[in-house]
A and B are shown apart, each in its own frame.
Chain A
Amino acid sequence: MMRQITSSLSPGIAVFIVSLVSSSAPSPAAQAQATADPGASAEQETGRKTRAETLQEMREEKSRELSPESVSRWEARIRGWEETQFPRNWLVKGWNGFRPVFGGMPSGSGFVLGAGYIHGLAAQYFQAQANARFSTRGYTMLDGEAVFPPPQVGRRVELKFRAQYRDLTSLQFYGLGNDSSVESQSFYQLEDTLFGGYAWLNPRGLLSFAAEGGFLRAETSSGSEQPSVGDEFPAVEIPGFDAPRTDYSVVGGWVEFDVRDKWEDPQVGLVARITGLRYDDTVVNAFDFTRVVADVKGYVPLGPKSRILALRLRTSHSTADIGDAVPFYLMETLGGAKSIRGFNEFRFQDTRNLLVNVEYRWEVWTFADFAFFFDAGKVFADEEDFDFKDMHTGYGFGIRGHAPGDVTLRFDFAHSTEGFKLHISGGPSF
């Protein structure tokens, strides 16, 4: 081995190395042998060199063996990706604004992929985008929106205009009421078009106000999957099913009180929002109703902020005008990745609902946390049932990854009386 090491070096340096790696305190016999050894003179010669001379010699030795400095093939490749900002540029900016889009459809749509165009990513005043999305369940969505100013700029007022068309071909429906059976699963198709917008004053401030309004056109029919809603339920029991295409004017607004420590992955504080919306059926005059939603989320650190208790209480009440009804496709639902996770998406549905979520979250990494959660909720039609009785419950364990820009990837493993569910979704649970 040492012969190999020293083969390319000058005799003096080689002797020097041999000396370095040999035993530190030679025996007298070894010393005697060294004296008789012809190499000993070389050793002595090396020993007489100054430290500076030896260092100089080593450098001269290396100068005869220089090779261009480089980085590994892998490092060069990754560096190339960094320079092109792959995949960020592909996903966010795309090619001249044309880019792939993921998600953006209602929960339970399956994997959603599409293409879009965005303008104004680097702009200070205005951002616009248009997208076409398709899901593995066969859903289609076309949407466009314009935001003043764009999200990356903090302003006192935010204006947003949105237009969207959706063809959701196989939405699930289990019947109305808190006692619906999972065995009654049926499907329907919802095709709707929305033009709307809002003006939000002091967004992300302590107290903010918004006014919103728009036009909604909706139509339902039998879904692409069987059984259809009409097969499972009498049409007269399901308001809005098989009704002609209906147009709504929608006006409303919200008030929000926000004392969270931060908007992305908050660890302490509270945000409460009350939303009021008025739906006026402008075609058949059978589905005029008013909706009021209260949503309160609190974040309580249990000692240090590395473990927090996150709580949510949400209730929604839709009240139809006398003689009218709330169409089933505009009723809010419970079940799925953002409500009671032990149940299927859309599992419970009625004009009113009450939802409680409790999560114990703990920090695993700056960009990841684990959680145990407990969910409970009910739907009901009569306001006298607005209490905590007969709640459906579920519990589970979640893993969440966070990236800058409020991007969250969430895996929730949940259990309820209807078995185990795995939800893989984007965005926070609440």
Chain B
Amino acid sequence: MSKKTCAFLLATLILGARQLPGQKFRTDDPIHADDDRLDTPQEPAHIRLSDAYDRFGHIFHDFGRSAIGSEAVNVNTLDEVPNSTWFTNRHSIKRMSVEELQRGPNRSAGPHPNETWTVFKGKSQGLTPGFEVRDGKGDRYVIKLDPVDIPELSSAAEVIATKIFYAIGYHVPENYIVRYHPDRFEIEPGTQVEDQFGDQSPLTRWRFRRMIRRVPRLSDGSMRLTASKYIPGIPIGPFRYHETRSDDPNDIFPHEDRRELRGLRLIAAWTNHDDTRAHNTQDTWVNENGKGYIQHYLLDFGSTFGSGSVDMQLPNLSFQYWLDLEQVKKNMVGFGFVVPPYRHVKWPEFPEYQAVGRWEGTYFDPEGWRNDYPNPAFVRMTPRDAFWAAKLIMSFTPEELQAIVETGEYSRPEWSQYFLKVLIERQQKCGRFGINGVNPLDELRVTETGLEFTNLSEKYGFVDDRTSYRVSWSIYNNAADTVEAIGEAATQKETRLSLPTGVLTTGEENLFLGVDIRSLHDDHPEWNKPVRVYLRRRGQSYQVVGIDRES
């Protein structure tokens, strides 16, 4: 048995251990942070993945080891994702202010447009050049340009997506929209530029001007560009959406079974981030106070919303995989009468809305949405994973989303308005899909009057308020993993339950109050699966310590 398998077995049930006699709850449950910063003193290997191998490998083979339908393994006893080097709960736990949402990951004002930027690396592949600069403070940035004939398309998408993914909890780079005059650029001596064939040649000032001559100029002669700051630490290559790194002691949960990577599927669907693959991630080895560890980032949000980074998003992508074998089979025998779904879509008017790109919400289907090619974590997303993601998606109010969209700095208000309208449409669809997929009870809290909960589907208006609840109390023995019913089950409309009195006394640390709550709604028979809530006695009160939610 390989070490990876051992690690896998260890990891499989640890955080969300459900079946361990006497072990279901530990004294520190529920944990809200998983300190995965065990010292990694040696710099890990720098890996480089093959684009073709990754693409075709995932199309024809599932690299994930766990069974499709199995649940995520890195959740805590509340079925939530603890903070880690992969994910930090932000907006959904502690609401960020509008200013914080707009600032996102940015820790400064970005490279100053009045300073000289020194180009130290360049590429001239295709019509959209790219280069890297060092600003006046010595910070390094990757400079990205919009498609030459569609100003604002990818820069707005990149920045808006960065803010959303950051607020949700992913680790992302600092991305800035900057207006910079091309005459201010300096070329560092010895800088090479790579052409479309990979050949290097010296980057001269004349050549650099030729590279950027097609980039649209604003009225003051400056160019609008995106400056993406180098992320902290030493880059060691991307993370895969499957397995674990063999040289990272902290990486004990198979990536395809991480909740934040599975749930990313629904968030990617919302933002149309079809390019969610290993190549658009980055691991860095961070050395902090003499202690090393690996931090995990999502990168490159240029292919989000209606943008395809170097052009508008292709119409077929996000409705089917790049090579969607199932769709190909249907098309082959369909003689043209099986119409691929994307062919029905009505896009916004072009060229009027080119800056927004192929971005729409009417035909969007969260369940049918596809990223570029199969992703082992995405194909394993269960209703519980989707529920988790949907809660995060729905945590943004329209006003907050509007504030985030403003950071895209569209030059025409109708573009921002249209963008926001679609973003909200898609948010609602994703929320409905994820929240209605399971018994949607959440926000469980013990108050002075009892145990209160929220029906998220009703809260967000996905159903009417005709839900009633079938409640049955029990005592859970954490040492013996046994359940003893208390009284009869009762049905009620209220979302507040009175706690049974006199059942548990202080000092019985292995006994927990348990309550099964089934939601009864004519339109959603699947909500009849119970949410079981565990309450631990804390002095004179109780603490919600665990939630079992059936998919």
Contact = CB atoms under 8 A, between A and B. Distances in A.
Contact of B38 (A60, A85, A92): A60
A365 B323 contact: yes
Contacts of B250: 59
B53 A58 contact: no
Interface in B230-252: 245-252
Interface in B25-59: 26-29, 31, 34-36, 38, 40, 44-45, 47-54, 57
Interface in A278-310: 302-307
A365 B249 contact: no
Given A47-B22, A47-B23, 9 more contacts: A51-B26, A60-B38, A63-B249, A69-B247, A76-B50, A85-B198, A303-B339, A306-B340, A362-B336
5 contacts: A8-B3, A56-B35, A75-B53, A84-B198, A363-B331
A54 B14 contact: yes
Contact of A93 (B12, B76, B197): B197
B48 A79 contact: yes
A74 B344 CA distance: 40
The 8 closest A-B pairs by CB, nearest first: A362-B336, A307-B336, A63-B249, A24-B19, A304-B343, A79-B50, A50-B28, A78-B50
A54 B26 contact: yes
Interface in A185-203: none
B45 A63 contact: no
Interface of B is mostly: loop
B526 interface: no
B316 interface: yes
Contacts of B57: 75
B1 interface: yes
A362 B1 contact: no
B259 to A, nearest CB: 15
Interface in B184-213: 195-198, 210
A68 B336 contact: no
A236 interface: no
B332 A370 contact: yes
A330 interface: no
A306 B249 contact: no
Interface in B2-27: 3, 5-7, 9-15, 17-23, 26-27
Contacts of A46: 23
A59 B316 contact: no
B9 A17 contact: yes
Contacts of A44: 22
Given A71-B47, A122-B197, A59 B52 contact: no
A97 to B, nearest CB: 11
Contacts of B487: none
Contacts of A74: 53
Interface in A99-141: 121-122, 124
A13 B196 contact: no
A74 B45 CA distance: 18
Determine which residue in B19, B36, B251 has the highest number of CB atoms from chain A within 10 A of its CB, and name it. B19
Contacts, number: 188
B481 interface: yes
Nearest to B328: A365
A19 B343 contact: no
B245 A43 contact: no
Contacts of B60: none
Interface residues of B, number: 74
Contacts of B336: 302, 306-307, 360-363
A66 interface: yes
A62 B7 contact: yes
Contacts of A305: 343
B9 A92 contact: no
A20 interface: yes
A202 to B, nearest CB: 18
Contact of B10 (A13, A49, A76): A13
A70 B20 contact: no
Given A52-B28, A59-B36, A360-B336, A5 B21 contact: no
A76 B334 CA distance: 39
Contacts of B23: 16, 19, 46-47
A81 B51 CA distance: 11
A78 B336 CA distance: 35
B462 interface: no
B492 interface: no
A268 to B, nearest CB: 12
A417 interface: no
A66 B247 contact: yes
A21 interface: yes
A121 B6 CA distance: 53
A4 B1 CA distance: 7
Contacts of B31: 51-52
A70 B51 contact: no
Contacts of A58: 7, 10-11, 14, 252
Interface in A1-33: 1, 4-5, 8-9, 13, 16-17, 19-22, 24-26, 31
Contacts of B344: 304
A384 interface: no
A48 B28 CA distance: 10
Determine which residue in B50, B195, B314 has the highest number of CB atoms from chain A within 10 A of its CB, and name it. B50
A82 B52 contact: yes
Contacts of B27: 48, 50
B245 A69 contact: yes
A183 interface: no
Contact of A364 (B48, B197, B252, B331): B331
Nearest to A153: B127
Contacts of B9: 5, 17, 20-21
A305 B57 CA distance: 30
A361 B26 CA distance: 64
Given A31-B480, A305-B343, A362-B335, A62 B49 contact: no
B21 A19 contact: yes
B248 A69 contact: yes
A54 B35 CA distance: 11
B22 A70 contact: no
Interface in B324-354: 328, 331-332, 334-337, 339-340, 343-344
A63 B35 contact: no
A237 interface: no
Contacts of A24: 18-19, 21, 481
Nearest to A31: B480
B50 A20 contact: no
Contacts of A47: 20, 22-23, 26, 479
A340 to B, nearest CB: 24
Contact of B332 (A9, A25, A364): A364
A174 to B, nearest CB: 35
A55 interface: yes
Contacts of A48: 27
A83 interface: yes
Contacts of B343: 304-306
A65 interface: yes
Contacts of B331: 306, 362-365
B482 interface: yes
Contacts of A66: 246-249
A271 B334 CA distance: 29
B322 interface: yes
Contacts of B10: 9, 13, 16-17, 58, 61
Contacts of A89: 197-198
Nearest to A46: B23
A136 to B, nearest CB: 30
Nearest to B236: A69
Interface string A215-245: 0000000000000000000000000000000
Given A59-B249, A67-B246, A75-B49, A43 B6 contact: no
Nearest to A361: B336
